[in-house]
Amino acid sequence: RRFIYLTTAGVLYGEPHYLPTDEEHLIEPISPYGLSKWLGERYLALLAPASMTRIVLRLANVNGPRQRADGEGGVVSIFADRMRLGLPVVVYGDGHHTRDFVYVADVVDAVVAALGAPRSATVNIATERAVPVLELFAALSMIAGYSTPPTFMAARPGDIRTSRLAIGKARSELGWSPRTALEAGLVQTYASL
């Protein structure tokens, strides 16, 4: 009777035409990863019975304790792990590109809220805050006591420049808002390493 699909947001929308990016924005993935997430949403719309309540949670960059730094690990876990080990930290691009980071406990709250949603909906789960990667690097460096400057490498194909997601629909449809400030989440994440 109910299906909750957790997917991604930033790479699904591609380079935004406006900020904050809401759920009505064009879907324009610029990477195979973003396209695969869009296909998941389309399969759900195509195959789910009309009577099923379908909640699609489009997640910003999730971070938090026990997130792995290998494979498709997020930038927070990768930076934190390398800082903990005293290794160089690589920033792809100029570091001024932004991401909307959401803490894992807030994502769990969104899933719990989706369990009681009265109707089908697609909502962004984010913070509406665009954080430059260099600002993230500086905040984590302070927490970790890391003093080595980042190593810059060319931007990677398929990476978007700007991510800041609107969450008004999550508030109205799910009664959800993030509770964890980025800095508080980073402290918890680093402490868990």
Q: Which of the residues are catalytic?
A: 33
Residue 42: how many other CB atoms lie within 10 Å: 11
CA–CA gap between residue 105 and residue 103 (Å, rounded): 6
CA–CA gap between residue 79 and residue 88 (Å, rounded): 9
The answer to whether 163 and 100 are in contact (CB under 8 A) is: yes
Provide the 3-class DSSP secondary structure of residue 79: helix
Residue of 153, 160, 132 whose CA lies nearest to 88? 153
CA–CA gap between residue 18 and residue 146 (Å, rounded): 35
Distances (CA, A) of 132 to 40, 164, 182: 29, 11, 12
Burial class, 118, CB count within 10 angstroms (exposed 0-12 / middle 13-18 / buried 19+): exposed
